[in-house]
Amino acid sequence: MFSILVLHGPNLNLLGKREPGIYGSLTLDDINRLLEKEAATLGVNISFLQSNHEGALVDAIHAASTLHQGIVINAGAYTHTSVAIRDAIAAVSLPAVEVHLSNIYRREEFRHHSHIAPVVIGQISGFGSDSYLLGLRALVNHLTQLKSVNK
């Protein structure tokens, strides 16, 4: 059974209140419940961490290397600014999927660049809470394929 870490970055604790026209009306707890349900369907364990602090996210990525087989990450604004998070993902060599609720390429120019994208297996954005579900499914499919190749 795979174990997946879901990391939520800064300001995602405000979902449901924060700019619902962009981020929707679901809360972070709502999204986590949807992910728990999907994880059960997929037969995987799932853990969550939300932090507004870059170092806490980096520490969680480091710890994930011995606890989990993959990461789903919405680094929020750190996507566009954090070389530290990018380097942490590259350092642990765990498959990771970057997700975003909004389509970052249809937003402000500064959001069009992701420091994280080059070190993850894929990026999903613009589908609201479904971005997380699609990211989880894609990661589990990837891990399953890796497992069958390494038999």
Domain boundary assignment for the chain? 3-149
Find out whether 116 and 75 touch, Cβ atoms under 8 Å. yes
pTM of the entire predicted model: 0.93
d(CA 11, CA 34): 19
The CATH number fitting domain 3-149, selected from 3.40.50.9100, 1.10.10.10, 3.40.50.300, 3.90.1300.10: 3.40.50.9100
Looking at 23, 68, 78, 115, which residue is catalytic? Answer: 23
Whether 23 is a known active-site residue: answer yes
Q: Of 8, 68, 100, 115, which residue is the catalytic one? A: 100
> To which H or E segment does residue 99 belong?
strand 96-100
- Residue by residue, pLDDT tens for the chain (151 residues) are 899 999 999 999 999 987 777 777 899 999 999 999 999 999 999 999 999 999 999 999 999 999 999 999 999 999 999 999 999 999 999 999 999 998 887 777 877 789 999 999 999 999 999 999 999 999 999 999 988 888 7
Query: Over the range 62-96, which residues count as b (16 or more CB within 10 Å of their CB) and which as e?
Result: eebeeebbbbbbbbbebbbebeebbebbeebebbb
113 is catalytic: no
